[in-house]
Amino acid sequence: MKEIGGYFQLENFHGEEYHPEAYRFNLARTAISWFFKEVHCNKIYMPYFICGSVTDRLIMDGFTLSYYHINEDFTVYTNELPQTLAEDEWLFVNNAYGQLSDEYIQMIQNKYQNVLFDYTHAFFRKPLPGTNVVYSIRKYFGITDGAYLVTDMAIQMPEKQDQSWNRFNYILGRYEESASVHYQEMLDTAHGYVNAVPMQMSPVTLNILHGIDYAYAKKQREMNFSYHADTLNRLNGLKDILHQPSGSFVYPMLVNDGPAIRKQLASQKIFVPTYWSEVFQNMPEDTIEHKYAKNILAIPCDQRYTEKDMQIIIDALLQVL
């Protein structure tokens, strides 16, 4: 029986989601695994340049993985792939930092057909017609979980729905206190996803996604990216291939000693994450994957910040460099 009256819960939001056509999952890694299961995939061609949580999940779920390298412009090194894919084989393409163009994505889709594109770094990029795309939401907004899967293929959703009310403490805590106070809670929550199974997106997360000002977030990210680019492009090892994505994820800057620079920036309370640390720990030093994972600085440019904040980052970087 429905409860009526009593104290209030979180308000219901009534705005529109940015990807209302998508299937809604609890996590990107579980959405990926569920999709490959639904399309009866047995073998997946995976980039070395990918988060270990994804490959760990796929291995755990019994898929056979074959790895390939990327080129310097983040495109697929196709020499390591077959000319065509068998019916039960799929290609997984990581759109790292949102740097793959629509033209390139369409070309890969036309060539291989069985392709799933990872838009973890490209939330504001709409999928091209006929493509399969997965999005991770918590890398863009203040939520603890959530993923979108866009596909024209008919798939069944998991029966169980996630609950996330008990994971929001570190999100709410950072709103009123510093990140360091709740950092361990964030790590503990992330670690708790190791054995997560595919589920539908939680009601709390879905509700919050109806309350976000997407137009503002997209515009602010692009303005902040441009502000970085105006000063930092000349020092950026990616300057010859870098372009500004829609709703930029971060400003990726290739430097010579990423770990040391991250440490110096952190001492000034500027936190630049290391994406795919396991890649540069496990890959040979002469590979592009090792170089990029170790030395690309994922400089913040998101909607929390203004040009004044970007200038603080730039001043600190110029001093360090």
The answer for residues whose C-beta is within 8 angstroms of residue 178's C-beta and 6 or more apart is none
Tell me what pLDDT residue 277 has.
Answer: 85
Q: Which residues of 173-208 are buried (b: 16+ CB within 10 A; e: fewer)?
A: bbeeeeeeebeeebeebeeebeeeebbbbbebbbeb
Taken as a whole, the chain contains a residue count of: 321
- Of the given ranges (28-42, 119-133, 163-177), which has the lowest mean pLDDT? 163-177
Whether the Cβ atoms of residue 200 and residue 26 lie closer than 8 Å to each other:
yes
Decide if pLDDT at 21 tops 90: yes
Decide if pLDDT at 217 tops 90: yes
Tokens found for residue 135: 């999005």
Average pLDDT over residues 265-283: 91
Decide if pLDDT at 256 tops 90: yes
Tell me what pLDDT residue 28 has.
Answer: 97
Tell me what pLDDT residue 73 has.
Answer: 97
Average pLDDT over residues 144-170: 96
d(CA 9, CA 169): 16
Decide if pLDDT at 222 tops 90: yes
Q: Which residues of 213-249 are buried (b: 16+ CB within 10 A; e: fewer)?
A: ebeebbebbbbbbebbbebbeeebbbeeebebbebbb
Decide if pLDDT at 280 tops 90: no
d(CA 139, CA 150): 18
Q: Which of 27, 266, 221 is nearest to 143 (CA)?
A: 27
Decide if pLDDT at 12 tops 90: yes
d(CA 187, CA 205): 19
The domains found in the chain, sorted by start residue, are 23-209 (3.40.640.10), 214-320 (3.90.1150.10)
Mean pLDDT of the chain: 96
- Of the given ranges (7-16, 101-110, 245-254, 298-307), which has the lowest mean pLDDT? 7-16
d(CA 187, CA 63): 27
Tell me what pLDDT residue 1 has.
Answer: 85
